[in-house]
Amino acid sequence: MRLKKHQLVFIFFVLANTGLASAQSAEDAKAAKTEKPIRIGTGIGYSFLGYREETDLPVNRDMNTFNFNINGSIEKNNFFYSLNFGFLKGEIDPVEVKSTEGFFTYNYRTSSFLRIFFENALDYRLWGNSVFPGYLGGAIRGDFFYSVLKQSHYYSLTLLFSLNLHASQKWIINDKNELIFSVGIPFLGYALRPPYYGMLYAPLDLEERMTSFHNYRAVFGGLKYYYTTSELLSLYFGLGFEFSHITFPQPRKDALFSINAGIMFSF
C-alpha cells in the first residue's frame, strides 16, 4: 500500500516532534541535574560481612549488622567528585577450634568488630552522552579493621591506605530518577598490620608495609538509585559490595554486601 504525500508529511511531523521531545527531555534532565551540582546526605543500612583473618584464627567468620554512612558528590564541568564514608560495629559469635596437632584448643568468647572506611574519588567524563555519561579517574581510600576478644587484651588490627583506579557510570532516566554505578580497584597501598595476634604488644614488620597488585587485590563497587522529591531534597537506595585479599604478614580475606537507604540535600 502506497502512502499519499500528506500522510508522509504527517508521519514525518510526528517523528520529528517525537525526536525533539526526547531531546528536550534529555536536555531538561541534564539541566535539572546541573542546576544544583552539590549533593550531600546520610543514610543507614544493613551489612552482611564475612572475613578470614589468619593472624587471629584461620577459620571463616561472619557478622550481620547495621551500618551508618555519609556520602556526597560535586559535578563541575566534566569533573565528577564523590565522597563516601562508612561505619559498622557488631559482635561475632564465639568459635571453638582444635589444632590439627591436637596440642591445644582455641576457646574463643564473643569478639567485638569495628570497621571504618572512607573514599574520595575524582573522575573525568570520557564517554557517553548527556543522559548516560561515563567517568574515569582515581580515588584515595582508607580502611580500618579492628577486632578484640571480650574480657581480654587479644586484638587484631589492620590500617590500610590505597590509591585506586575509579570509574562511574550515570544514567539520568528523567528529571526525577537517576542511577549511578561506581567501581574501584586498588593499584598501590600502604598498610599497618601486626604479624601475629597478640596481647599487649605486636611489632610491625616495616619491610612489608608496602602493598601492590601482588599482595593486595580488591574490588569495591556500588549502585545507587536517586529519586528527586524537590529542588533541595532527594531520596536514595543503594547496594554495595567489596572483596579484598591481603597476603602479608598473614593472609586476610574480606567480603561484604550492604543495603542502604537515606536522604540527600542539593545545593
- CATH classification of the domain holding 250: 2.40.128.90
Between these two residues, 250 and 107, which has the higher pLDDT value?
250
Residue 116 has pLDDT above 50, yes or no: yes
Query: What is the C-alpha end-to-end distance of the chain, expressed in Å?
Result: 57
Establish if 29 belongs to a structural domain. no
Mean pLDDT of 147-166: 81
Q: Which of 20-24, 135-139, 187-191, 258-262 has the lowest mean pLDDT?
A: 20-24
Task: For residue 193, count other CB atoms closer than 10 A to its CB.
Answer: 24
What is the residue-averaged pLDDT of the chain?
A: 80
Between these two residues, 210 and 42, which has the higher pLDDT value?
42
Report how far residue 62's alpha carbon sits from residue 111's, in angstroms, rounded to the nearest whole number. 11
Nine cell digits for residue 108: 574463643
| Residue among 149, 247, 161, 162 nearest 199 (CA) | 149
pLDDT of residue 132: 95
Mean pLDDT of 192-197: 68
Q: Which domain holds residue 80?
A: 36-266
| Residue among 59, 141, 129 nearest 100 (CA) | 59
Establish if 31 belongs to a structural domain. no
The number of domains in the chain is: 1
CB 256, CB 47: distance < 8 Å: yes
pLDDT of residue 193: 77
Nine cell digits for residue 91: 559482635
pLDDT of residue 195: 63
| Residue among 158, 187, 163 nearest 251 (CA) | 158
Establish if 1 belongs to a structural domain. no
Report how far residue 35's alpha carbon sits from residue 200's, in angstroms, rounded to the nearest whole number. 55
Establish if 40 belongs to a structural domain. yes
CB 240, CB 221: distance < 8 Å: yes
CB 200, CB 153: distance < 8 Å: yes
pLDDT of residue 147: 82
pLDDT of residue 247: 83
Establish if 119 belongs to a structural domain. yes
CB 125, CB 134: distance < 8 Å: yes
Residue 266 has pLDDT above 90, yes or no: yes
DSSP labels for 177-218?
EEEEEEEEEEEEEEEE--SS--SS-----GGG-EE-TTTEEE
Instruction: Write the pLDDT tens digit of every residue in 19-58.
Output: 444 444 445 444 445 567 999 999 999 999 998 887 766 7
pTM of the predicted model as reported, rounded to 2 decimal places: 0.79
Instruction: Write the pLDDT tens digit of every residue in 69-114.
Output: 999 999 999 999 999 999 999 988 766 655 555 554 555 567 788 9
Q: For residue 25, give the DSSP letter.
A: H
pLDDT of residue 67: 96
Mean pLDDT of 147-173: 85
Share above pLDDT 90 across residues of the chain, in percent, rounded to a whole number: 50
Report how far residue 134's alpha carbon sits from residue 98's, in angstroms, rounded to the nearest whole number. 52
